[in-house]
Amino acid sequence: MSFGSKGPNPLIGWQLDRTAIRTLGRDLQRPECILAERDGTIWTADARGGVMKINPDGSQQLISPFVDAPGNTPEAIAGYENRYIQAQGSLPNGLCLAPNGSDFIIANWGTNALELMTRAGHLTTLCTEIDGLSLGKANFPLRDSKGRIWFTVTTRTEPWSDQINTRATDGYIALLDEHGVRIVADGFCGTNEIRFDPAEAWLYVVESTSWRISRLRVQPNGTLTDREVYGPSRLDGFPDGFAFDAYGNLWVTLIFTDQLIAITPDGDVLTLLDESNPATKQALFTAYENRAVTPDMLGATMGTLAPWLASLTFGGPDLQTVYLGSLRGTTVPYFRSPVAGQPMIHW
């Protein structure tokens, strides 16, 4: 599949109608990453140490290796919100399906590990260190057409939130294949989600705390070369998750200010949804420029639709349903897009 960027861009002049947004799921905890399957099943990362399965009929089931996973009481939820900054305990972050198409590869933000979990909840740790050093804040895994697992580590800074101010370029991309695990690119500022173009010729990477998207050319052996910035050298906030549509637009979530934008193939930025508060956004951005961001500031400007808007994925039978992931939401908002998404590798 190649991007079908011919004719008028379907996103030009389009904005998301807030009243057209619906939600699915209930009492979710930190649904940071969303996976959609062809049959309509939705999977979300869950702060209780596993994933939540949301069936097409709306019923849901928590799958977790921890039998004592906390319940959905206000006290439990508040406790988990408090440790989102502290990153204590198991905090599944990014998800992808393993090469067998069934098991989950989990980048665990809390345990600093790359994990594999079956749909029965059996957990195996795949990797906790590289070259004798702890992984750091494991963020997002991605499978390619060869069955290789690529994953990002945001930072080795502890606590991770300090990196917002230091802008340490200690983030990296690692590759797990038949030769083991190794770092294939480093020197990133807040490495977050990664995506391939349809030909897997380029790997795109979010650098959250430098407010930009970069990309690297993928060589057959997994080496990444020719690194360059994609789109604007600086976005209007902290990018977190992203996904291509079939036209070639790159949809991007801006966390903390809860905005959804798209970078067109021409490099222009379109604002599709803006849930930010102008006053608190300006305060956060001023603190960012002064390297004085505090944890309280990160939560002060979030919206109400998907608080700390973190990711998106395309699904539905025609890949024109967009699902939004968040760190502080309890449901999965979704809406119809005027253009289909790029199918994920498991599609």
**pLDDT tens for each residue of 131-189:** 999 999 999 999 999 999 999 999 999 889 899 999 999 999 999 999 999 999 999 99
pTM over 0.85: yes
Sorted by where each starts, the structural domains of the chain and their CATH numbers stand as: 18-336 (2.120.10.30)
Q: What is the pLDDT of residue 198?
A: 95
In this predicted model, what pLDDT tens digit does every residue of 218-241 receive, in sequence order? 999 999 999 999 999 999 999 999
User: Does 51 score more than 80 pLDDT?
Assistant: yes
Residues 298/277, Cβ–Cβ less than 8 Å: no
Tell me the mean pLDDT in the region 41-67: 93
Max CA distance (Å), the chain: 54
The b-or-e profile of 186-217 (16+ CB within 10 A means b, else e) is: eebbbbbbbbbbeeeebbbbbbbbbbbbbbbe
**One-letter amino acid identity for 43?**
W
